[in-house]
Amino acid sequence: MGTQNMISNVFKKYLAIGLVGITVTDRYGGVCPIRGSSMSPTFNPSVGSFTDDYVFLEKFCLDKYKFSHGDVVIFSDPTNYKERCVKRIVAMEGDYISNVGGVVKVPEGHCWVEGDNSASSFDSRSFGPIPLGLIHGRVTHIVWPPQRIRKIDRRIPQEGLA
């Protein structure tokens, strides 16, 4: 009887910790791996490195979609919703951006995202502006590996804005 009671108490504690953890990562923020070279040198600057950068994803910005030019965001790929992408916001709704096809006005409720490494980035230049509702959060810090721990700066590229 005592062993069952102890197992039950341990199970309840771990269940409570798990539920709190899920709530925190769903509402406030969490840690995500960044793979690929589309955001190099901001993330994964070494091509031959075996470790990916892990970043802190802040979700307070999702309240009323508080994003700014230069924010690095993680969002669902508009061509495959199961995949996540990380890119920098270059233009917000109402902004004009120069693209291969000419000048594009970013529609209401959308933003224009591009990778820092334009040579290997599949971004808004390919699929157009993305709805703000696809964004999962804003990247604020690199948290792993230890030698790369730092805050992510907002960098606003000016070359594409019209």
Euclidean distance between CA atoms 148 and 126, whole angstroms: 30
CA 103 to chain centre: 26
Confirm whether 105 is a catalytic residue: no
8, 13, 37, 38: the active-site residue: 38
37, 59, 66, 87: the active-site residue: 87
**131's tokens:** 């709805």
Euclidean distance between CA atoms 119 and 144, whole angstroms: 25
Confirm whether 38 is a catalytic residue: yes
Which H or E run contains 27?
Answer: helix 2-27
CB 105 within 8 A of CB 94: yes
**141's tokens:** 């810090």
Count of Cβ atoms closer than 10 Å to residue 96 Cβ: 14
Cα angle: 76, vertex 131, 28; to 5 degrees: 60
**Active site (catalytic) residues:** 38, 87
